[in-house]
Structure 1
Amino acid sequence: MVAMPVACALLATGCASKSGQGDDALQIVANPVAATAAVSPAPAVAPAGTVLASAGVTALAADPASGVLAVAVDQPPSVLLYRLADPAAAPVRVSVTGPVEELSFGSGQVLASIPSRGQVAAVPLSGGQATELGVPGQPADAVAAGTDTLVAVRDRKSVDVYSGGALVRSITGGLYSADEVVHSGDQTVVLDRLRTAVFKVDVQGGTIGEGLRAGDGATNAVADSYGRVLVTDTRAGALLAFSMDPLLLRQMYPVPGGIYAIAYDARRSLAWVTLTGSNQVVGFDVRGGEPVEKFRFPTVRQPNSVAVDEGTGRVYVGSATGEGIQVIQP
């Protein structure tokens, strides 16, 4: 398989758009539906590495700086704080008000997005009680950006900017949904799963900028070390790479098997993606002109989330069906 270098001008399906839903060069179908993870079959082989018992995992995030692995589970809704140095040790459990969709680290805490409750929970790294930030609507993702917190609010189709717990501005325009926000350096991109597109966000200017189609069913995104945002196209089965400044589609690499979750190891330039249709996790070296597969491991069933510890290279995979947290040392 080879990557397909592409530029905006070459895409027959359309490139930038700031228009509303009635005049949209990015829209694929009349009534778009967000792509979701492929349903996993029963595992054919045992998962690699070790598996820690857990309820259904809804999100994972690792932070080597603090030495913490954060795991969101659904029964009961909680964030579990593991020590990366000893993941087999019992975690600290912090209760939250509802199912967590995304986790991220920032400002010495874990940000847990809870769309069903209209909240972003700030979980102390040492445990204890979470502090809830009320967000009007469905906050699908939240990331730290300096002293600010950027929140993708799905139903309001906005990126909200909070500072000191107060709403500074809501950035809207041209989105059908705001599902994930990626911030790297001074660049910010929002993923719209309904439009299956990515858009630049001018946080200081308060505007949604140019947008590009992201395959046929984009689901998850992460920044890499090379000024790009990597996106999983679950419907078409591909790993996409967009430069962020300017926003251009640079690579489209076929990855069959139900590509879904993604995490990035900056120290090793490895993008780890899960394949829920085949219960696998694959590590791609993304330094060159096309991704190069370096690792492939069997996983727990329904591997809907993945995280990587850049310090050790250890990979963590979460089963959404309650079959545990998998720990793999490549």
Structure 2
Amino acid sequence: MAVALPVACTLLVSACASDTGKGDDALQIVANPVAATAALSPTPAAPPAGTVLPAGHVTAMAADPASRVLAVAVDEPPAVLLYKLADPAAAPVRVDVAGVVEQLSVAGDRLLASIPGKGQVASISVAGAVSELGVPGQPAGAIADGARTLVAVRDRKAVDVYQDGKLVKSAAGGLYSADEVVHSGAGTVVLDRLRTAVFLVDVDGGTVGEGLRAGDGATNAVADSFGRVLVTDSRGGALLAFSTDPFLLRQLYPVPGGVYGIAYDASRNLAWVTLTGLNEVVGFDVRGGEPVEKYRFPTVRQPNSVTVDEQTGKVYVGSATGEGIQVIQP
């Protein structure tokens, strides 16, 4: 039986520590860090639950319960497919984009699609209109922050702040890579996959603050309803929960099987994680002192992407090997 380790980690390391990977750095794990990736999936041992819609290689997903749109990024050729959540089997609106989308996020009545290979964040309306925000470097993830857009720029090791299409400030320092930015409660956090750590970001001040280790190979993150950031540790096989005020590691829950993708259902307080080593998706109730498994379903092969419709509770899983988009009603 898996047991959560309640943690109140106080080991904070200044973002001003050496960013070369040398010297006295408590966040540094190995001399030459390599970002963790999804475990390769075996041939599925069971048919996927629910229904499966045909699709190419899925690289990212996001569901907007307000507009009732499911956005699915595919890579051959690069596009974002806009499905109706009320009728996902209907033909989607296809929006061609400049390159492969790594992350999708909902930003009001628009979607933000991060395209690191082209130095661009595409802003897509739910009707399919596109505008492009050029970003110097490799924008790995973007979120809305009121009237501003926060962009994690991987190679520049920074979080850029844009307003009205213009770069107004950039927060940097102490990062090896900036791979995802998450706003939770009163805090903004950037995930650094190379350093396998999370850092607080002072958006208004334009600085990266102190950091905490996030397991042995952090890959993805999402905010929950309790002012925390949930992180998948793919190498360590765990689900981590960090509070932002104070900035502490609160929970470390073992999740074997290649934990990777993550989505959060705020209406039901469920964190959905994919297990790419098992071709499964698991729903955890995260309201208490430790996650409690509520659901477990077999998935399509290589389930790297997951999102959830908070209105209905339906879970959508995307196959990175082109085996479709899975629709599950728990």
The TM-score, its normalising length taken from structure 1, stands at 0.97
Given residue 118 of structure 1, which amino acid in structure 2 is its aligned partner?
G
Distance between the aligned counterparts of 2:88 and 2:108, measured in 1? 23
Alignment match, 1:15? 12
Percentage of identical aligned residues: 76
CA contact (8 A) 2:185 2:244 kept: no
Alignment match, 1:48? 49
Distance between the aligned counterparts of 1:109 and 1:276, measured in 2? 29
Q: Displacement of 1:248 after TM fit?
A: 0.2
Given residue 131 of structure 2, which amino acid in structure 1 is its aligned partner?
T
Q: Displacement of 1:314 after TM fit?
A: 0.1
Given residue 145 of structure 2, which amino acid in structure 1 is its aligned partner?
A
Given residue 113 of structure 2, which amino acid in structure 1 is its aligned partner?
A
Distance 1:148 1:185, change over 3 A: farther
Superposed, which structure 2 residues align to 1:182-193 within 5 Å? 182-193=182-193
Q: Displacement of 1:140 after TM fit?
A: 0.0
Distance between the aligned counterparts of 2:186 and 2:96, measured in 1? 33
What runs of 5+ residues in structure 1 fail to find an aligned partner? Answer: none
| Count of residue pairs the alignment pairs up | 325
CA contact (8 A) 2:139 2:153 kept: yes
Superposed, which structure 2 residues align to 1:242-253 within 5 Å? 242-253=242-253
Alignment match, 2:81? 80
Q: Displacement of 1:187 after TM fit?
A: 1.6
Alignment match, 1:155? 155
Alignment match, 1:140? 140
Moved over 6 A (4+): none
Distance between the aligned counterparts of 1:26 and 1:184, measured in 2? 22
Alignment match, 1:61? 62
Q: Displacement of 1:75 after TM fit?
A: 1.0
Distance between the aligned counterparts of 2:245 and 2:207, measured in 1? 16
What runs of 5+ residues in structure 2 fail to find an aligned partner? Answer: none
3-state SS of paired residue (1:303): coil
Alignment match, 1:224? 224
Q: Deviations over 1:83-129 (max 9, x none)?
A: 1111111100000000000000113111000000000001111113x
Superposed, which structure 2 residues align to 1:134-283 within 5 Å? 134-283=134-283
Distance between the aligned counterparts of 1:162 and 1:249, measured in 2? 30
Alignment match, 1:38? 39
Distance between the aligned counterparts of 2:203 and 2:12, measured in 1? 22
Given residue 274 of structure 1, which amino acid in structure 2 is its aligned partner?
T
Distance between the aligned counterparts of 2:185 and 2:64, measured in 1? 18
3-state SS of paired residue (1:8): coil
Distance between the aligned counterparts of 1:163 and 1:186, measured in 2? 20
Alignment match, 2:122? 121
Alignment match, 2:99? 98
CA contact (8 A) 2:186 2:227 kept: no
Distance between the aligned counterparts of 2:184 and 2:255, measured in 1? 25
Given residue 49 of structure 2, which amino acid in structure 1 is its aligned partner?
A
Q: Supply the RMSD in Å over aligned alpha carbons.
A: 0.8
